[in-house]
């Protein structure tokens, strides 16, 4: 079992409504059964729905933005900067989600700058990395992850507020979850990269989450792996199944 505190994140992506944000917070998030000493729980609605969750949440659940700006405040229409998120009481952000990388053209360097910006404003950053199917099949998974991490290493020395979310792109939204063995092997390689390129403390202390088709049916088995420190959940984070995923992590840690 991992020695690190677990973290379970729920990434709502571009889903939800005001009514859903309120009812899901009251009916599911506020009833999650976990000890915050064992598990951090972080939910990431759209920026529009975030205040409705924030106003109704009462269960040690944290809130994250799904993205933050490359820049500070100013004439950057449509962007929300890290300092605004901090001002709004938001202590977590995602960066580098594969949908941001592939659909919105974010480069490794962009993701690194966004990560640095979040850290600069005291946020814990859930840095998403992961390979495409062709890269997995081509045997270059560890190289892809190393390249994405190295871009962040160029801009960030202190990794103590980074959580890595390993999300193989072929597993996202497909129902094709990585096997516990495949996820464990890749997480171990990420930890080796941290030891070689950041520090032994970062390798031992950084939480590495798995993401990609995590559900109430597979969470309990995945969480038994020693280098899996929690999950970043998409589709199932919008459903009551999120309760079972958080409970599986809490029970395994307890
Ligand atoms: P799914 O859990 O829907 O596969 O999405 C994973 C994800 O992208 C979380 O960020």
pLDDT, tens only, 169-207? 999 999 999 999 999 999 999 999 999 999 999 999 999
Cα 166 to middle of ligand 1, angstroms: 11
- Predicted confidence (pLDDT) at residue 44 exceeds the cutoff of 80: yes
Confidence of residue 32 (pLDDT cuts 50, 70, 90): very high
**pLDDT at residue 1, as a whole number:** 64
Q: How confident is the model over 197-227, as pLDDT tens digits?
A: 999 999 999 999 999 999 999 999 999 999 9
Check pocket membership of 97 for ligand 1, CB cut-off 6 A: yes
From 202, 142, 147, select the one nearest 168 (Cα to Cα).
142
Q: Is the CB of 229 under 6 A from ligand 1?
A: no
CA distances from 23 to 12, 18, 47, 75, 214 (A): 14, 9, 17, 35, 23
| Partner residues linked to 64 by β-bridges | 92
Is the CB–ligand 1 distance for residue 222 below 6 Å? no
Mean local confidence (pLDDT), 107-119: 98
**Which residues are the active-site residues?**
97, 167
Decide if 96 contacts 148 (C-beta within 8 A): yes
| Model confidence pLDDT, tens digit, residues 54-103 | 999 988 999 999 999 999 999 999 999 999 999 999 999 999 999 999 99
């Amino acid at each position: 079992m991992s020695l690190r505190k677990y973290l379970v994140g729920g990434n709502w992506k571009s889903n939800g409504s005001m009514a859903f944000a309120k009812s899901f917070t009251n009916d599911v998030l506020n009833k999650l059964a976990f000890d915050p000493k064992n598990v951090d729980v972080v939910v990431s609605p759209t920026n529009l729905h975030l205040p409705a969750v924030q106003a109704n949440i009462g269960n040690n659940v944290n809130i994250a933005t799904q993205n933050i700006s490359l820049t500070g405040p100013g004439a950057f229409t449509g962007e929300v900067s890290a300092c605004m998120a901090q001002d709004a009481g938001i202590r977590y952000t995602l960066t580098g989600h594969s949908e941001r990388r592939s659909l919105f053209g974010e480069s490794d360097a962009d993701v690194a700058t966004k990560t640095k910006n979040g850290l600069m404003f005291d946020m814990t950053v859930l840095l998403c990395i992961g390979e495409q199917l062709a890269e997995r099949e081509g045997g270059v998974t560890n190289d892809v992850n190393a390249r994405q991490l190295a871009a962040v290493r160029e801009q960030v020395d202190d990794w103590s507020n980074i959580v890595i979310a390993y999300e193989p792109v072929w597993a996202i939204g497909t129902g094709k979850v990585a096997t516990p063995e495949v996820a464990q092997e890749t997480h171990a390689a990420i930890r080796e990269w941290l030891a070689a390129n950041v520090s032994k403390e970062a390798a031992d202390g950084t939480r590495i989450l798995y993401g990609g088709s995590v559900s109430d049916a597979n969470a309990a088995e995945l969480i038994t792996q020693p280098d899996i420190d929690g999950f970043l959940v998409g589709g199932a984070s919008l459903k009551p199944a999120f309760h079972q995923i958080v409970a599986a992590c809490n029970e395994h840690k307890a």
